[in-house]
Every structure is written in C-alpha cells, then in structure tokens.
Structure 1
C-alpha cells in the first residue's frame, strides 16, 4: 500500500468515524421508535452523501492512488483495470478515463451492496423479533451492528484483494459461490425464515459461560450481578447480527469485486451502502410487503454477477454494461412489485 493511498484511506476512515460518532451520540442520542418519515429523510441523506462521493471520484479519483504522471497511472491500471486502453501521449485523457471507470465501478458496487443488503435486512428483522427486542432499542443495536460491519468489511475487502492479486483463480470460486447463492435464494424465496434463539450456535456458546442475563435492562449491553459481569439479551442480539453480517459478507464482497478489483473502490462503495442501512431498515420494515419482487431481483443479480466472474477470462462485460444491467434489474423488480397484483412468485 502506497503512502498516498494510506493517507487517503486514513482521511476517509476519520471522516466516516466522525459521521458515525455524530450520528450515534448527538443526533440519535435518545432512543426512540423511528417513523417512516424520519427513515425516509435519513435514507435520502445517506444516498446524497454516496452520490457526492461519486462526483468526487469523477473529477478527482486519481487522488485515491496519488497518481501524478502516466507511469503512476499505468501502474495502478495494470493492477486494477488492465483492460483499459490508455494513451501514453495524452495523460489527461487517460487519467480522465480511469477516473470515470472508478466512478462507474463505485456506483455499480454501491447499488449491488444496497440491493443485496435487502435480504440481510429481512434477517435483521427476524433476529429482532426472535429476541423480543423493543422497537425503541432497534436504533441502538443497529448503530453498533453497523460499526462492527464496517470493521469486518475493512478486513475482508483488503484481505480479499491481497488474495486475488496472488491467486486470480479465486475469482472463479467467488463466481461459483454467487451463482449457487442466487439459485438457492430463488428456490427458497417463498420459505418463511424463522430462528430458534436457543439453538443459535452463538447463543449456545455464550450460554455455556453462564453469563447471559435472562432479561433486558433498558439499553444496557452489560450488567453486574453478585460481582459478575453478565451479557444482556441486547448485547447477544448485537453479536448475532454481527454473525449474520459475517455470513452475508461472503456473498456481498465477492459480488462487488466483480465490478472492480480496486479494493479502495470496493471499500468506499461498501461503506456508503452500509452507512444507510439503519435508515433503510426502518423504511423497509414499514413497506417490505410492497416490494415482494425485490428478492427475485437479488437472485437475478447474484447469478449475473457470478456468471460475469466465471467468464471474465473469455468475455469481459464492461463497467457501463454492468451498471445498466444492475439498474434495469432494480427498476423492473421494483416496478413489478408496484404494478403486478399480489401472487405467489
């Protein structure tokens, strides 16, 4: 990792940390049940921030890698976008081409992560219901869940990038996993997901310690009884959500690598998608029944992305075509949900 990349990444992480701290300890300090209007407003705010970052990449994306001359550009492109035809006699045009490629890849990755997150949000709803978490505490749990998800994404993405750079055949494994996940999701699309809390492996592991407190204590994660530190059900809920996100990451991160091998672009798109998950959760919880075809769209996207990774050695689906397909799937699945009368999908 170059010094310029480390500095930019460090600045980005500080910026994101500042936003999260402001959100967690100032804006949403008081626990409350989030309304549809509030959720919609914050969803729009997070989307606007993500789009503003895409504007930055469009005009100044080279700052991420500290590109100052054609040699720098060629070195970066050879690692992450070897298919681009750069002109050594026109540095500015070549630089602009790479910036635009970064931007399109970022937007595609953002949309993929957002779309795939829908299935994870349904799992979160199931976890809250299974643990009997009060609606006033949803926000508190999701705050820490999202913070943990960001840390996991950082580790997974840069570790994944390092593995791919050494063993490019891993992309074929990722592709096969995504096709399998898409087909499996389609076959199980009408099954009602349920969770037996006591049989969850993480709960069983914590139960063996004898440190799980049997009831909620407001928004507290820990409580001390007879000199012993105990985990409240709220803390266990956070851990289970993190566990589910860990499993979800095995699909979502390889999917974003299908549109860009640049770990920074993958990381940025993931983080901006995750930041809006909490607001999206409350919005989706209220209108989930209206978008019954969205899960079918997720299945299609997983299969498409998996196939794209499997055939990349023989046929390259360019970034613009991928973005058009992703947007088309979203528009069709959402449009069908609003227009077609309810029936078994």
Structure 2
C-alpha cells in the first residue's frame, strides 16, 4: 500500500505517523519510565500526565498544519471531551483496585495492558461507528438522543450507579469458570501450580481478573464516549487520534489523582451537562438546518462547563469548607432555638 493512498479518507502516511508516535510512547512508558515494579509517586505521575497532555495538544498543531484550522479545533474539542470523560473512568478504576486490593506497585502493570486493550477495542468500535455514520447519516441523531439521555441519567443518579463489583456478571462468570489463585503471585496474570488432582494446572491470578474487569468497564464508557466524539466530528482520523491520545495518559492521570479523587466530587454533574450539550447541539443544528455548530463555540462551551465543574469541586471540597459549613449550621440551629425559646410564654 502506497503512503499517499487513502485509508478511511486520509493518506496512509498520516495514519503511519500517528501509530508510530503511539508505539514510541508505549515503548517509552513500559521500557524506560516505568521499568520494574516500583510504585509510581504523585510527583512523577503529575509530570507524566502533563507530558501526555502536552503531546496530545501538540498533535493538534500537527493536525492544523496538515488538515486545517477546523480539523484542529475539532480534534482539540474531542481530546478535551475524551480526557474529561476519562476522569469518570479513573473513579471506576480506583473502585476496581480497591475491590481486588491490588497493591499500588502492581497497579501500573494492569493499567498498561488495560490501555493496550482499550486501543484495540476503541479502534473496532470507532471503525464500526464510522461505517454506520457513513452509510446512515441519521445515526448521528440517535447518538445525540442517547447522549442527552445518558447525561440526564447521570444528573439524576449521581454516584448511585457505580454498582457493587461483587455482583458484576463478568466477574462472577470468571470466578465460576476459571481457576483463580488465592492471592497475587508477583506481577503475573497466569501461573502454573498444583491443582486438586496434584498435577500442574494453569491458574489466573486476581491481577488478571482486575484487568478484565477494567476492560469491561472501558467498554461501558466507550458506549458514551464514542457517540460523544462522533457528535463533534465524523472524521475517523480525528475521532481515533483524539480518543487514543486522551487514553494514553490515563495511567499517569490515575496515579496523579487517585489520592485526591474526593476533591472532584462535582465533576460528574459537569460531565453530564457536557454530554447533554454535545447531544443537544446536534439536534439544534438539525432543527436549524445547518451543518453543525461552529467548532470554536463547541470548544469554548466545553471548556466553560468543565472549568465550572472543577472550580466548584475544589471550592466545595476545600479542607476548611466543611468545617465552616458545619459551624454555620450549628449557629443557625442555636439561633433558631433561641428564637423559639423567646417566643414561648413562661407560665
């Protein structure tokens, strides 16, 4: 295949540059930055997260140079949206690691292989979605309605929909049908050890179960994130590159934020509002008979919604904020009690 020939509407050499960059980042991540089983500290995680975000944003400049301003803005909007939705994924990953009691120094191995699986799964889902949109344009309206429904559901349910992992169907199936070791065996996913018959048999470790549950969790998140990016742009190249660059930094983002997830308590309503906005603008564009809402407006509104969610979260969860609220509530109760006592006649 010649590098100038087209694949999914873009020259093969554009895809080759993107895939080569992703491969370099994965090799760097596994072979250089996180060699061995050392625990990843918060400082290192913050630096790595900033590095991945910088690479993702810089790739938008490459898109601008090759495909123009509109494509670059659509890429950046998709990147910001996917990075923000990945925050919700971080909450779930923390829950999964807590459920399996995965030691911190083993978590980076699970996340690395989990991200590799995500890259493949997203490629399949995005390819399928692109084929649907190209063949049936009305599918975008279905995506839009689904996003609005999902956003309203998120606003209504809050954190109540996180569920009990012990009731997860995939996990229960694996526990019934696979031989699972009683504990972790180093950083291994599989191990051979004597079974009930005394012969060596293949066992999976709890680390492998955690990996599979994380992959299933990403499938669930992809049901939201893939329609969200297609509502921003239908260009498969922009959809896939923005998705993958947002996901590549997920591991570093997790270790950077795992200890302070409680500080983002109000981010979920912001993500819900973002999904409603993304779905709503597709429907509004259809009603008004225009091709789409201008990309710069989408990017500006996206930033505004997310910034509001982050700022409110940081203010509401500040260390002294709860104490101040409790003090004010106590003062109000005392004031109310005093007023009540003054209003009661003394017999």
Query: TM-score, structure 1 length as denominator?
Result: 0.84
In structure 2, the residue corresponding to 1:306 is in which secondary structure? Answer: helix
Shift of residue 334 of structure 1? Answer: 1.4
User: Which residue is 2:168 aligned to?
Assistant: 200
Range 106-115 or range 184-193, more displaced = 184-193
C-alpha deviations, 1:77-116, integer Å up to 9, x for none?
xxxxxxxxxxxxxxxxxxxxxx100000000000000111
User: Which residue is 1:38 aligned to?
Assistant: 44
Name the CA distance, whole Å, in 1 between partners of 2:263 and 2:51: 23
Range 14-23 or range 320-329, more displaced = 14-23
Pick one of 81, 85, 101 that aligns with 1:116. 85
Matched, 1:253 2:205: no
Matched, 1:141 2:114: no
- CA gap 1:172/1:192 in 2 versus in 1, 3 angstroms: closer
Are the counterparts in 2 of residues 126 and 195 from structure 1 also a CA contact under 8 Å? no
Are the counterparts in 1 of residues 282 and 293 from structure 2 also a CA contact under 8 Å? no
Name the CA distance, whole Å, in 1 between partners of 2:76 and 2:213: 30
Matched, 1:331 2:300: no
In structure 1, the residue corresponding to 2:286 is in which secondary structure? Answer: coil
Matched, 1:264 2:237: yes
User: Which residue is 2:298 aligned to?
Assistant: 322
Shift of residue 266 of structure 1? Answer: 0.7
User: Which residue is 1:285 aligned to?
Assistant: 258
C-alpha deviations, 1:50-100, integer Å up to 9, x for none?
121111112223xxxxxxxxxxxxxxxxxxxxxxxxxxxxxxxxxxxxx10
Shift of residue 187 of structure 1? Answer: 1.4
- Summarize the alignment of residues 1-345 of structure 1 with structure 2, pairs less than 5 Å apart: 2=6, 5-61=11-67, 99-191=68-160, 193-197=162-166, 199-225=167-193, 226-315=199-288, 316-340=292-316, 341=321
Shift of residue 194 of structure 1? Answer: 4.7
Shift of residue 190 of structure 1? Answer: 4.5
Name the CA distance, whole Å, in 1 between partners of 2:178 and 2:42: 39
Are the counterparts in 2 of residues 178 and 305 from structure 1 also a CA contact under 8 Å? yes
In structure 2, the residue corresponding to 1:122 is in which secondary structure? Answer: helix
Shift of residue 189 of structure 1? Answer: 1.3
Q: Give the count of matched residue pairs.
A: 306
Are the counterparts in 2 of residues 161 and 263 from structure 1 also a CA contact under 8 Å? yes
Range 127-136 or range 226-235, more displaced = 226-235
In structure 1, the residue corresponding to 2:188 is in which secondary structure? Answer: coil
Name the CA distance, whole Å, in 1 between partners of 2:205 and 2:276: 40
Name the CA distance, whole Å, in 2 between partners of 1:31 and 1:48: 26
User: Which residue is 2:345 aligned to?
Assistant: none
Q: Which runs of 5+ in 2 are unaligned?
A: 194-198, 326-347
In structure 2, the residue corresponding to 1:252 is in which secondary structure? Answer: helix
Are the counterparts in 1 of residues 93 and 214 from structure 2 also a CA contact under 8 Å? yes
Shift of residue 213 of structure 1? Answer: 2.1
- CA gap 1:274/1:196 in 2 versus in 1, 3 angstroms: closer
Name the CA distance, whole Å, in 2 between partners of 1:281 and 1:46: 13
RMSD value over aligned CA atoms? Answer: 1.9
